[in-house]
Amino acid sequence: MSFNFNVKNKGIILANSHRGYSHKYPENTMPAFIAAVEAGTKSIEIDVLMTKDEKLVVIHDFSIERVSNGTGYVEQMSLEELRQYDFGIKKGKEFANTPIPELREVLLWAVENDVGLVVEAKPHRNHQRFAEVLAKEIRATNSVTNIQLLGFDHVLINRVKTLYPEVQLQVVTLARYNRQLDAVLGSNASCVCCEYHYVSKDDLLAYKKAGLITRLYLHEYKNNEPTLKTYSKKYGYDVENEVIEWLREGLIDMLSHDDIDYLKILITKAGKQVG
């Protein structure tokens, strides 16, 4: 079953849960992914690294200390070694014995449940082999229409697209280049991921005119304060109202945050349906 990331002109904004419902569940785990869908969303951002035995696993950090009860580096460990550790216990005792997920099981789950996955490629080296393994897994799970491959490293994700041209790319922009749209289109993007600090309304208008899907990523809460309020304090003006206006005008197709309830509030304030 395919997933449609292109929701323009449908009055819908995709509420994209960052690493699953990571505000309440252990990030990048099946409990977080299942909870995101149960909360009424259908789009999830995940992170992927490759183990030393060339298995793809869903995890953000290169090391496992922050999110598990183990130590070590993903790329220096086998899947069997990683499976010894608990990737839920640090979020709460109720999540004890949560394993690190293999990408394959998440892709199969997404296809079965009509979920869209924004899959961020994380490795810093061994790019060609990572690309080969990832392309093979996407083919084996028949999940190409359920994913957008995300990367800060546009060269890396284009290695995958060279091997599997049907893969949609989502590129991250953490700067405003002099020829911003050219840089994005030159990376073969179907979608562009922006942060508020590095995007303007002019950029968003240009992206939409070029037919690109747009995603706005909002950082996690700081001191339990709503993210857009934190941004407003930084700049001294009402950022929330500005972002809601972008949503209302259809300049944002996908909105990302750790807290799904917060996403729903912002999308509803803009008069749009939560997708």
pLDDT of residue 171: 98
Q: Which of 23, 60, 127, 154 is catalytic?
A: 60
- Does residue 18 carry a catalytic annotation? yes
Q: Where are the beta strands (DSSP E) in 232-274?
A: 254-257, 273-274
- Does residue 219 carry a catalytic annotation? no
**Chain segment 94-143, per-residue pLDDT in tens:** 999 999 999 999 999 999 999 999 999 999 999 999 999 999 999 999 99
Angstrom distances, CA of residue 182 to CA of 5, 173, 176, 222, 228: 22, 12, 11, 34, 29
3-state DSSP assignment of residue 257: strand
Q: What is the CATH number of domain 12-274?
A: 3.20.20.190
pLDDT of residue 63: 98
pTM of the model: 0.96
Angstrom distances, CA of residue 39 to CA of 259, 266, 275: 10, 15, 11
Question: Exposure of 124 by Cβ count < 10 A (0-12 exposed, 13-18 middle, 19+ buried)?
Answer: exposed
**Chain segment 237-273, per-residue pLDDT in tens:** 999 999 999 999 999 999 999 999 999 999 999 999 9
For the chain, how many residues are written? 275
Do residues 208 and 214 make contact, with C-beta atoms less than 8 angstroms apart? yes
Q: Which residues contact 105 (CB under 8 A, 6 or more apart)?
A: 30
Cα–Cα distance measured from residue 92 to residue 238, given in angstroms and rounded to the nearest whole number = 35
